[in-house]
Amino acid sequence: MPVTLEKGVFFTRYIRKKCTAPGPPRGLPILGNLIQVFDKQVFLKLCDWQKEFGDVYKLNLFTEEVVVVNGDAIYDVLVTSGDDYGGRVQGARTKIYSNGFKAIAARQPDKEWKAMRKITQKCLKQYGEGVANIERISMEEIRECLDKFDRTEAFDPYDAINDMVIGIIIIVSMGVKLSADDSLHQKIKRVEKLTPFAFG
């Protein structure tokens, strides 16, 4: 069962037992709530459903149940029960390019995944101030993103958060800071948007 966190955080976990969260809103046969969430302002729809169903509710997308988590429940999912909800979507195309879900970005958080993560963290620490440098870069980009939130009225935060993450990746990997209007930044952004369609 996929679990979706509002405020720009999305991840998936498949569980066997039936979901007991309230919902879903009335949808269409087979498609479920797919048409309702296929909108540029889906965040507004999710907020409306939060008011109706509470901080945790479910949607139906095709035949898949998706749980949406809001508010204080996000902390419980990410921190308190992080290991339980740290799974990945395992689609057919993902299986091909990840060598049977063996890649660190595609596999479930099992013992081997934790070992791979530990090795990766050790590699970063070998570069001395590597982790601290990533934290410093990340905090600078996060502050700039938060400034956008403070200066504007209500808006869709997706682009601001997406630009922030891409900016961090570019600085860490290339050592340069590019504006969100830069052609390379825009290419990475386009690839990121197309990836779920190609490999989902």
Nearest to 4 by CA among 81, 63, 69: 69
Q: How confident is the model at residue 142 (pLDDT cuts 50, 70, 90)?
A: very high
Take residue 43 and report the two structure tokens written for it: 């965040």
Q: How confident is the model at residue 141 (pLDDT cuts 50, 70, 90)?
A: very high
Range list of H helices, the chain: 34-37, 42-53, 73-75, 92-97, 111-125, 130-151, 158-174, 183-199
Q: How confident is the model at residue 126 (pLDDT cuts 50, 70, 90)?
A: low
Note whether 65 and 58 are within 8 A (CB).
Answer: yes
Note whether 101 and 107 are within 8 A (CB).
Answer: yes
Q: What is the pLDDT of residue 182?
A: 94
Each residue of 151-165: pLDDT tens digit? 767 777 888 999 999
Each residue of 41-54: pLDDT tens digit? 787 888 888 888 88
Note whether 73 and 54 are within 8 A (CB).
Answer: no
- Per DSSP, the three-state class of 156 is coil
Q: Quote the mean pLDDT of the chain.
A: 79
Mean pLDDT of 168-190: 91
Q: Burial code of 43-59, b = ≥16 C-beta within 10 A, e = fewer? A: beebeebbeebeebbbb
Q: Tokens 């009225």 map to which residue?
A: 153
Each residue of 77-104: pLDDT tens digit? 878 877 777 667 677 777 877 778 888 7
Mean pLDDT of 176-184: 92
